[in-house]
Structure 1
Amino acid sequence: MAPQPTPPAPLNEPIPDDALPIGPQSGLSSIPTQYIEEQSIQQMLRNIGYDEAREDSYRLKGVQLIDSVRQSLQLPVKTFDTAAIYYHKFRIRFPSSEYNYEDVALASLFVACKVEDTIKKSKEILCAAHNLRQPHDNKTPDDKIFESPSRFTVGLERHILETIGFDFRVQYPQKLLIKMVRTILPQGSGETERKRRKFLEASYDMSIDIYKTFSPIKQSASTLVQAILELTARIMDVEPDKIKAAKGSAHHTERGCVYETLQDLLDLYTQFPKMTKIGAKFDLNRLIDVKIDINKLVSADKFQRTYDWCDRCPLDMPDVPPVTPGSATSPATNTSLSGNSTVKRKAATSEATLRFVFDAEEARKERDLVAEHFNDEYEEHETEVEETIREEPRYPANNSRSGHPHRGHGHTHNNHEWGPYSRSRHGHNSERLKGRKGHGYY
């Protein structure tokens, strides 16, 4: 009887779990974080050989370049906020020797324009930066000198996206700042309205200056706004107690975070006053006096310089010598070079696929599920085995008929050194001794 064919499985029927094949490993999962703590930032900077005196200057110049190009292209301030955060997150992971700060700043602005739906071509951004740098030599975006830097910027775009982990969450403190000013200082007339406008103008400039620090990648928008309002009130003597009373747990922040942001801003204004908007408007002595008052408050409230600092987690100090940035060989700053469409990347530690996951809990569940199939488990067993000891072979004594060996001739019975000739009973070649006169044993 011929075998019956197997009926096909019914359609739209779920396959049992046991029948599902075990596929390859899911690869490397990267969970992006919106905020980075100060201790983690310092560790990243040490890993790339951060030179504080030089890199601080590059950080300020890069953010200033983003702001200048943004104003030249008439882009909204939210595009500036996004570009500055991308710029900081990229530069704390890569040293200046690999990427020039101007290239990273312009590429960050190019990515931010796409994210915030204020799309500008890469050539337009490069042209605006060129015209700001060389006002006597104005160019148009269609000029051929921007073709090579444009390819480099587009290649750097993907590298920035991978660095931020495709996480486009960015806070915009300016919108919340205006609402808080309107709540704290209601609209009036005459001198009151003039003071209110000055306060709003100073606080708004401070919201731009704060992006020249690492505070936007450490703190939330509510913390940034509260620190800006309090510092502006102390500098302008506009009822700081009233500003402080308007803050509380309703704004979802901690007092230690506000103190840390205040000190970051005051360090910026006292060390680099000429590279900020507020430093050019107020006296440096006034800013130093405010910094002294803030330090006294921090000591009185028993807070540290950095909030949530872990003393049991010492920073690693790798011996990485500082390197000189390659600004002279950068395609964006040197138009005589041809440039490349691809950018230099870090060597991957594994050939597995890198995936970006946004839900940490789901990533942990997936990791535990995959680990069940790829963990190697071994069992150890001890077994007693009896082995036979081999005896050494015994060879007969090599003696002659007389009971003693022929020691004087240097030959034994087992010596086959003279193979082709026959041997006598004494072990000597009789044919060779036969025809020679004067030799023999008799």
Structure 2
Amino acid sequence: MAPTGPRSHASSRDPIDEPIQQPPIPDGVVPLDHSDPARGPHPGHVQVACQFTLEQKLRRMLKEQSYDPAREDTYRLQGVQLIDNVRESLHLPIRTFDTACFYYHLFRLCHRDVEYNYQDAALASLFLACKVEDTIKKSKEILCAAYNIKNADYPTTQDDKMFEGPARIITGLERLILETIGFDFRSRYVQKYLVKATRVILGSQAPKDFFALTYHISIDLHKTFAPIKHATWTMALAVIEMAARVTGTYVEEVRRVRPSDWHTSREDILEALFDLLDLYTHHTKATRLGSKHELNRFIQIRIDLNKEMESSYEQKEPKIIPYSCDACEMEPPPTGFTLAVTPSLTPSFTPGVTPGSATSPATAGSGSNPAVRRSTRGAEGTMRFVFDKEQAQKEQDAVNSYLHEDYEDVEIDVIEKVPEPERRNNKDRGDGWNPHPYPRNRDRRKGNRRR
């Protein structure tokens, strides 16, 4: 007789224990490995030196740093003027001034002005420029010259103990400037090419007064961002044209110049001219040329240049496109390796004295700044500085091939056997449960037996 109770266990030939045949994995599909991969050393960071900066990128960087336009112009002009005064005090050549201004502008673009004193940054730029141009000066010597310029009645020497703390700050800022420029020591000297261009355009009979005027304009040009935006020939032609328009002489000779013969374009020359005109119209007293001429003269030059731009749209000549572009200013920076002029990925240091304060240790010899500290980014990997952009891109692509996994989700049907639920014997339950609460011969509705 077959058992009437439920099965308490499955037999050995139950189909649940049989292995299920899975469909084969399609070709080209790699199964995911959920095990933790071996972790190697950090690949590090690649930083590429950047010699030129577009106007759109420059404005975007200033916007990211939340600069106040009026305060930014004031610190930029005062910093360059401090570099020029110390240079003249130490009898340094003009090429050292050009290099120091180039480093100073780049450093201020990559670091917020609340993190450092602009006077310390200017002197640190001059200190590094002296090494690059082989006109070596000690940091204490530069600090002493800046102090004696501000305190002419009480001069001191570089052996004074009050310069020990500021000297360490200058050295710390020097390391940050080196990282900002990407250890690229190439610089541009507009005065060297200015003399050659003047002799070619005006001839060898050009008066000495014209050369002196172009020299002063070239110094004023470094108070703008033109040195980090334009090539040497572009700045030289812009300085010559500005001198010709201010004096009203040699204007026709300058107009006959073909920018393509000088490896530049008319748009770049006009951009440098507009930078100079903005400087002369808004900050006249902070320039060498602005105080010697009337303001209406510079306004008239701007009007003439604007007419030239408008006439290029009406004629069949190549259109002169203004350098301002609102769409480009809002675009995010390109991804990939880090450029040297990038504020978001440039190491920062501990904030020091409030910018613009009169108690800067670099100029007053008093006060204190915390030691300059590097950021924690160096612990994540080695920072490498590369000059060749194409080579850096190849290295970045090779590293990304190992660090970034590109995979595609593929759905595969899997046959899975649903197991039969386990049955338990009711008699084994000890809670008094009865599967038949009413007898079979009893009517549960009336409580009587069936007849």
**Would you call these one fold, judging by a TM-score over 0.5?**
yes
Of residues 94, 114, 119, the one that matches 1:77 is 94
After TM superposition, the structure 1 = structure 2 runs for residues 53-202 of structure 1, keeping only pairs within 5 Å, are 53-188=70-205, 196-202=207-213
Of residues 318, 336, 355, the one that matches 2:366 is 336
SS of 1:280's equivalent in the other structure is: helix
RCO higher in structure (CA 8 A, sep ≥6): 2
Q: Is the Cα contact below 8 Å between 1:206 and 1:277 reproduced in 2?
A: yes
Rate the CA distance shift 1:388–1:184 in 2: closer, same or farther, 3 A: closer
SS of 1:92's equivalent in the other structure is: helix
Equivalent-residue separation in structure 1 for 2:388 and 2:88 (angstroms): 36
Q: Is the Cα contact below 8 Å between 1:25 and 1:370 reproduced in 2?
A: no
Equivalent-residue separation in structure 2 for 1:269 and 1:106 (angstroms): 25
Moved more, 86-95 or 291-300: 291-300
Please name the residue that 1:388 is paired with: 418
How far did residue 187 of structure 1 move?
4.2
SS of 2:191's equivalent in the other structure is: helix
How far did residue 141 of structure 1 move?
0.7
Q: TM-score, normalised by structure 2?
A: 0.76
Q: TM-score, normalised by structure 1?
A: 0.77
Asked if 1:255 is matched to 2:284, the reply is no
Of residues 197, 211, 220, the one that matches 2:222 is 211
Equivalent-residue separation in structure 2 for 1:43 and 1:93 (angstroms): 12
Equivalent-residue separation in structure 1 for 2:261 and 2:328 (angstroms): 32
Equivalent-residue separation in structure 1 for 2:281 and 2:437 (angstroms): 111
Q: Is the Cα contact below 8 Å between 2:57 and 2:329 reproduced in 1?
A: no
Of residues 336, 354, 357, the one that matches 2:386 is 357
Of residues 314, 317, 320, the one that matches 2:330 is 314
Q: Is the Cα contact below 8 Å between 1:127 and 1:140 reproduced in 2?
A: yes
Rate the CA distance shift 1:268–1:224 in 2: closer, same or farther, 3 A: same
Equivalent-residue separation in structure 1 for 2:437 and 2:169 (angstroms): 98
Equivalent-residue separation in structure 1 for 2:263 and 2:204 (angstroms): 26
Please name the residue that 1:3 is paired with: none
How many residues align? The count is 368
* Aligned-residue RMSD, C-alpha: 2.6
Asked if 1:298 is matched to 2:309, the reply is yes
Q: Deviations over 1:65-110 (max 9, x none)?
A: 0011001000000000000000000001111110111000000000
Rate the CA distance shift 1:313–1:112 in 2: closer, same or farther, 3 A: closer
How far did residue 394 of structure 1 move?
5.0
SS of 2:384's equivalent in the other structure is: strand
Rate the CA distance shift 1:312–1:149 in 2: closer, same or farther, 3 A: closer
Rate the CA distance shift 1:403–1:199 in 2: closer, same or farther, 3 A: closer
The aligned amino acid for 2:397 is: D
**Structure 2 unmatched ranges of 5 or more:** 1-38, 314-319, 333-352, 440-451
Q: Is the Cα contact below 8 Å between 2:59 and 2:329 reproduced in 1?
A: no
Equivalent-residue separation in structure 1 for 2:281 and 2:376 (angstroms): 40
Moved more, 267-276 or 294-303: 294-303
Rate the CA distance shift 1:394–1:151 in 2: closer, same or farther, 3 A: same
How far did residue 246 of structure 1 move?
2.9
Asked if 1:39 is matched to 2:68, the reply is no
Pick the structure with greater CA Rg. 1
**Structure 1 unmatched ranges of 5 or more:** 1-21, 317-323, 406-442
Q: Deviations over 1:379-422 (max 9, x none)?
A: 7562513132342645638368x9679xxxxxxxxxxxxxxxxx
